[in-house]
């Protein structure tokens, strides 16, 4: 019962925050005006700038900012116990993350849909623009490489998810044509499409799981480029090129609207399962995991400051400012929709993160996870089955969390090498995602849904969100490359096709190179950079928002405090990663990571210095936009 109460109180907190703090920001601080010109109307081109109903743009915005972020981060952070993770999600999403997303959206709306990097050039200075764009480019490159790998791994470990995810694409295109070319309604077709996807999940789970390892007789990963992850990554990047150069109404908007329905239905099922399991005593958060963990292995980083970079999406994430000012600001049809899209979507993501935390603790406590050695994945352990246990055994519940998070041991692989199983070192991408998929599957099973089907539903949910983030990130990277090319006068890269191809080539070079698990796992090499870099980006975005407010003589305290937090915590974490005597990149020979870390920290310091220089003359001095060019960005 206490587990359900915690979930309910969290959701009530989000609803109250939206109708109080969110409305105060919208009316008193940003002064949203429904009559104001917005970029989607002023620069309408039916490719990127498309006026869109707020319900549709909410679906796009939410699924783009969510991805696997609010799943992966909380699934790791419960390593320190569920209470710190829960507090950071609830407090962070209300007072930091939602303010960040909302502010970035409004700033972009009032600057012709420009990215926060472009706006930084006018709010802070020309050098700040270049610095911000470089940080954006580096961050998006890592996002593309990592999320391509995430989806490839999901398809490989959960072959029952493949059919449903790919079925969604032609369904979304058909819906887009139906709405924008035939004038049809989106609600009924999107619900029908969701039903077809669920049929696809059942077919994938019981009749037609698409497993390339069996179909092609190739390994998941290994010392050859002919492996499953490489093939899926190439297919996904080809798809991303096509999806991100198409007009947003043909695929991006309708697919994201379908995904928003998918999330709502999955959340309802999860909450119902949580409620039933809580009432019957099968799910007990307090018995399943410690509120604050004490038996943390010595290889784990300190909770301060790493909690604040481990949970990004779900509390606050720098990637969100790119979505707010990259795609969403070009589609919002009225300023008054900005609170619903920017502030509301972040709170819903916080709600998802709350459910993930409970699933990874109370959900895991409902069953035991049997794993067998999978030599094709470089000695990793693959999911085999979940055996439901008697819910009256609290030791079993706690041991499920302990086995996944708190214990570690060395296992001898078939090739003679050693793999650390358990503890912080075991947090590979599969383990991060599967904690939610497995725990969520347990919740659905408590409703009478067959466990295999429940696992398929959760796996498709994760894959769908990751795919949304992947091609949205590709489109955002195209915008960033276009802005850099326009500033540096590199004309070929101002074309959307060449800019998109350049973005994916760079990402593929990172993703497909030799990594810790062989060819195709290169993205994992830069994975340790992602958390701190992403959160530093949030701090820099807050910096742009603060300057926007200062120049308009508006109060800044509500954005200034989060700015300081999001500049300090990630920098602290990055310095720890680089210079810790035991695990620091400098002392463990990880010179590539160390070099990237130095560059990111230098860009941050330089950006702050530019801010100090610009601060003296900023109050009340708002630079007007230049005259509107006839030709818009391609």
For 601, other C-beta atoms within 10 Å of its C-beta total 18
Backbone angles phi, psi at 432, to 5 degrees: -65, -45
Contact at 8 Å (CB) between 293 and 13? no
Whole-Å CA distances, 31 to 302, 484, 621: 41, 31, 18
> Which of 50, 57, 56, 53 is closest to 105 using CA atoms?
57
> Which of 30, 626, 43, 19 is closest to 332 using CA atoms?
43
* Both tokens assigned to 546: 């603060």
Whether 175 shows a pLDDT value over 70: the answer reads: yes
pLDDT, tens only, 480-493: 898 889 888 888 89
Number of domains within the chain: 1
pTM: 0.85
Whether 394 shows a pLDDT value over 70: the answer reads: no
* Both tokens assigned to 425: 């070192």
Q: Is residue 13 part of a domain?
A: yes
pLDDT, tens only, 236-269: 999 999 988 888 888 888 888 888 888 888 888 8
* Both tokens assigned to 205: 């789970």
| Mean of pLDDT values over 424-432 | 55
Instruction: Give the pLDDT of residue 450.
Output: 87
- Three-state secondary-structure class, residue 12: helix
Q: Is residue 625 part of a domain?
A: no
pLDDT, tens only, 196-209: 999 999 998 888 88
3-state SS string for 573-603: HHHHHHHCCCCCCCCCCCHHHHHHHHHHHHH
- Three-state secondary-structure class, residue 422: strand
List CB contacts of 311: < 8 A, sequence separation 6 or more.
73, 74, 76, 77, 85, 88, 89, 92, 353
Q: Is residue 214 part of a domain?
A: yes
CA atoms within 13 A on the CB side of 260: 24
Q: Is residue 382 part of a domain?
A: yes
d(CA 550, CA 614): 11
Whether 426 shows a pLDDT value over 70: the answer reads: no
Q: Which domain holds residue 340?
A: 2-615
Backbone angles phi, psi at 15, to 5 degrees: -65, -45
* Both tokens assigned to 571: 């920098």
Instruction: Give the pLDDT of residue 395.
Output: 40
pLDDT band for 136, please (50, 70, 90 cuts): confident
Q: Is residue 247 part of a domain?
A: yes
Q: Is residue 495 part of a domain?
A: yes
pLDDT band for 164, please (50, 70, 90 cuts): very high
d(CA 369, CA 359): 14
> Which of 350, 349, 344 is closest to 23 using CA atoms?
344
d(CA 475, CA 252): 10
Geometric angle at alpha carbon 93, from 256 and 465, rounded to 5°: 25
d(CA 437, CA 464): 13
* Both tokens assigned to 495: 């074309």
What secondary structure letter does DSSP report for 260? H
More confident residue, 418 or 532: 532
Taking the alpha carbons at both ends of the chain, their separation in whole angstroms is 54
pLDDT, tens only, 32-54: 999 999 999 999 988 889 999 99
Q: Is residue 631 part of a domain?
A: no
Q: Is residue 627 part of a domain?
A: no
Contact at 8 Å (CB) between 245 and 500? yes
């Amino acid at each position: 019962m206490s587990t359900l109460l915690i979930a309910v109180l969290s959701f009530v907190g989000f609803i109250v925050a939206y109708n109080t703090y969110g409305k105060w920001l919208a009316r008193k601080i940003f002064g949203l005006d429904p009559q104001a010109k917005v970029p989607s109307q002023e620069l309408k081109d039916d490719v990127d700038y498309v006026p869109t109903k707020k319900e549709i743009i909410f679906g796009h915005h939410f699924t783009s900012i969510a991805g696997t972020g609010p799943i992966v981060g909380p699934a790791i952070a419960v390593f320190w116990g569920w209470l710190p993770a829960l507090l950071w999600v609830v407090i962070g999403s209300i007072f930091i993350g939602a303010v960040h997303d909302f502010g970035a959206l409004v700033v972009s709306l009032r600057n012709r849909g420009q990215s926060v990097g472009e706006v930084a050039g006018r709010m802070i200075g020309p050098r700040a623009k270049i610095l911000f764009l470089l940080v954006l480019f580096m961050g998006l490159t890592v996002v593309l490489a990592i999320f391509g790998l995430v989806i490839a791994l999901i398809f490989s470990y959960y072959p029952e998810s493949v059919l449903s995810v790919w079925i969604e694409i032609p369904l979304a295109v058909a819906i887009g044509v139906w709405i924008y070319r035939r004038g049809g309604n989106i609600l009924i077709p999107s619900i029908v499409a969701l039903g077809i996807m669920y049929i696809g999940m059942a077919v994938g789970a019981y009749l037609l799981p698409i497993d390339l390892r069996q179909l092609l007789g190739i390994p998941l990963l290994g010392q050859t480029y002919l492996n499953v992850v490489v093939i899926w990554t190439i297919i996904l990047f080809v798809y991303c090129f096509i999806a991100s150069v198409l007009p947003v109404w043909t695929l991006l908007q309708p697919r994201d609207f379908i995904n928003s329905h998918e999330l709502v239905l999955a959340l309802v099922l999860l909450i119902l399962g949580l409620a039933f399991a809580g009432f019957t005593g099968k799910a007990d958060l307090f018995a399943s995991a410690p509120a604050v963990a004490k038996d943390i292995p010595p290889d784990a980083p300190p909770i301060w400051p790493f909690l604040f970079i481990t949970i990004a999406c779900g509390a606050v994430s720098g990637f969100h400012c790119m979505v707010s000012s990259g795609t969403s600001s070009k589609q919002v049809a009225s300023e008054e929709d900005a609170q619903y899209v920017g502030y509301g979507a972040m709170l819903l993501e916080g709600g998802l993160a709350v459910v993930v935390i409970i699933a990874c603790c109370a959900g895991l406590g409902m069953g035991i996870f049997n794993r067998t050695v999978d030599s094709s994945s470089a000695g990793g352990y693959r999911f085999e089955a979940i055996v439901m246990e008697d819910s009256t055994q609290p030791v079993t519940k706690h041991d499920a969390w302990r086995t996944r998070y708190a214990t570690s041991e060395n296992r001898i692989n078939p090739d003679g090498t050693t793999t650390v199983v358990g503890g912080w070192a075991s947090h590979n991408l599969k383990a991060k995602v599967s904690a939610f998929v497995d725990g969520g599957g347990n919740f659905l099973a408590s409703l009478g849904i067959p466990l295999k089907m429940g696992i398929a539903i959760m796996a498709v949910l994760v894959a769908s969100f990751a795919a949304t983030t992947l091609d949205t990130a590709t489109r955002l990277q195209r915008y960033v490359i276009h802005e850099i090319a326009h500033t540096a006068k590199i004309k070929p890269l101002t074309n959307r096709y060449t800019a998109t191809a350049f973005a994916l080539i760079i990402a593929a070079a990172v993703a497909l190179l030799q990594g810790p698990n062989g060819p195709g796992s290169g993205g994992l090499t830069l994975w340790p950079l992602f958390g701190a870099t992403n959160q530093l980006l949030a701090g820099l975005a807050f910096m742009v928002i603060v300057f926007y407010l200062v120049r308009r003589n508006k109060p800044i305290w509500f954005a200034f405090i989060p700015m300081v937090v999001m500049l300090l915590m990630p920098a602290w974490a990055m310095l720890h990663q680089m210079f810790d005597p035991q695990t620091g990149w400098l002392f463990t020979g990880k010179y590539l990571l160390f070099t990237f870390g130095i560059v990111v920290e230098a860009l941050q310091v330089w950006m702050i210095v530019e801010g100090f220089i610009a601060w003296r003359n900023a109050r009340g001095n708002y630079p007007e936009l230049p005259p509107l060019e006839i030709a818009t960005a391609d």
